[in-house]
Amino acid sequence: MALKNEKLTHLHFYYHNLLAGPNVTALHLNAKGPLHLNDTAGLFGRLTMMDSPLTLEPELSSTTVGSAQGLYGVASRTDADFVELFNFVFTAGRNSIFAPGIREMPVIGGTGVFGFARGKVHLKTHSYNATIGNAVVECDIYVFHY
């Protein structure tokens, strides 16, 4: 893997986390009764899975460029503090597990000798049994670290 000069790219878009209405894009996984945003103790531990559209403008009707897919949860008993884990999937860069060829994931951090690591992972499905769900996946990791 040849090293190139670092460059900065600024991406700007909006994601629409829709918990209600005809086109829901987020779903509570462990709903504990009605959602009351001012009841922070009642929000604690709530997990939500999302597949929310990314648009160029704040209006949902604007150009869609992908989706935000992942999960978030309320991690505080006293405030609405979220832990968020999701991928921004751009229309031109799908990462489906059934896609032929190589898929990518980021490396963001690490421990031990890989402290402050950054890089990328290439994944390629070697074999998959659709009946039982077992898979063998080839992994190549390219990582910068100190």
For residue range 83-117, list pLDDT tens digits in order.
999 888 888 656 677 777 888 888 888 888 888 88
DSSP 114: G
Specify whether 109 is located in the same domain as 142. Answer: yes
Q: Is residue 83, in this structure, part of any structural domain at all?
A: yes
Structural domain harbouring 120:
95-146
Last residue of a domain, one of 71, 92, 113: 92
Specify whether 88 is located in the same domain as 99. Answer: no
Indicate the pTM of the whole model.
0.69
Determine the Cα–Cα distance for residues 122 and 31; give it in Å rounded to an integer. 35
What are 128-133's contacts with CB under 8 Å, separation 24+? 128/97
Q: What is the pLDDT of residues 19-71, one digit of tens each?
A: 888 999 999 898 766 666 666 667 788 899 999 999 999 999 999 999 999 99
Specify whether 16 is located in the same domain as 85. Answer: yes
Structure tokens belonging to residue 42? 């009642």
Determine the Cα–Cα distance for residues 69 and 97; give it in Å rounded to an integer. 14
